[in-house]
Amino acid sequence: MTAHLAELLAEARIVPVLTVPDPRTAAPLARALAAGGARCAEVTFRTPDAEQVVKAMAAQGDLVVGAGTVLTAEQAERAVAAGARFLVSPGLDDEVLDTARALGVPIAPGVATATELMRAIRAGIDTVKLFPAEPLGGRAMLRALAAPFPGVRFMPTGGIDAAALPGYLAEPSVLAVGGSWMATPALLASGDYAEIRRLTAEAVERSLP
C-alpha cells in the first residue's frame, strides 16, 4: 500500500494542495494543473463540496487525485467513494489508518514529532507528511527527524513556497513537497487558470533534478 504511494510521490515531486469551494472550478483546475505538468493533486476536505471536487477532478483522467485534511474514518470512506486514490491527514489517527487499510488505499499521515513517527512506523507506514513543515523548523527539523529513521520518506507540507521547493527536494529523505501556492483560493476565485498553469509549470521545472 505505502510502496505505491511512495512511487507516486517520487514521480510527481510536487503535490498541489487544493482548497476548492466551488465544484464548478474543479474540471478546469484539473486541466490547468495537468497542462502545467502536475501528476497528482490533493483536494483538502475543508469545504462542504470536497467530494464533488474530487469526483470532478478524477473524471478528467489526467491527474491522480487524492484527498487531504482527512480527519475521520467517515471522511476517508467518503473520499475514496468519490474517487480519491490516496489519502493525506494532518495528524496520526489510528482509526483513519485502519480505514485506509481496510479500503486498500494508501495514506500519508501527518507527523510533527519523533513519537508520532515511531507510531506511524509501528502501524506499517513508511511514507509520512511532515506538517506543518515550515513552522516546525523547516529543513533543519526534517533532517533531525530523518536521521534516526533512515527508512522513512517524507512529504513536507505547510508554509512552503516556490522559492523553498528546491531546497526541500534536495533532501534525500524527501519524496515530494506539498504546497498551495500553485492554485490559491484567490486564483480560483478569479478563474485565472492560465496563471495556475504557469505556476504549476514553474514548480515542475524547479522540481527537476
Q: Does 129 qualify as catalytic in the annotation?
A: yes
Distance of CA 105 to the CA centre of its chain: 14
Q: Does 55 qualify as catalytic in the annotation?
A: no
Task: Please count the other Cβ atoms lying within 10 Å of the Cβ belonging to residue 143.
Answer: 13
- Which one from 42, 51, 55, 134 is the annotated catalytic residue? 42
> Which sign, positive or negative, has the C-alpha torsion 112, 83, 50, 28?
positive
Grid cell in block for residue 87:
489519502
Dihedrals φ, ψ of 134, to 5°? -65, -50
What ranges make up the beta strands (E) of 3-148?
14-18, 40-44, 64-68, 87-88, 107-108, 110-111, 127-130
Alpha-carbon distances of 42 from 53, 99, 118, rounded to whole Å: 11, 18, 25
Asked whether the beta carbons of 29 and 57 are under 8 A apart, the reply is yes
- Which one from 51, 55, 129, 134 is the annotated catalytic residue? 129
Alpha-carbon distances of 68 from 76, 138, 194, rounded to whole Å: 9, 21, 24
Grid cell in block for residue 204:
515542475
Residue positions annotated with a catalytic role: 42, 129
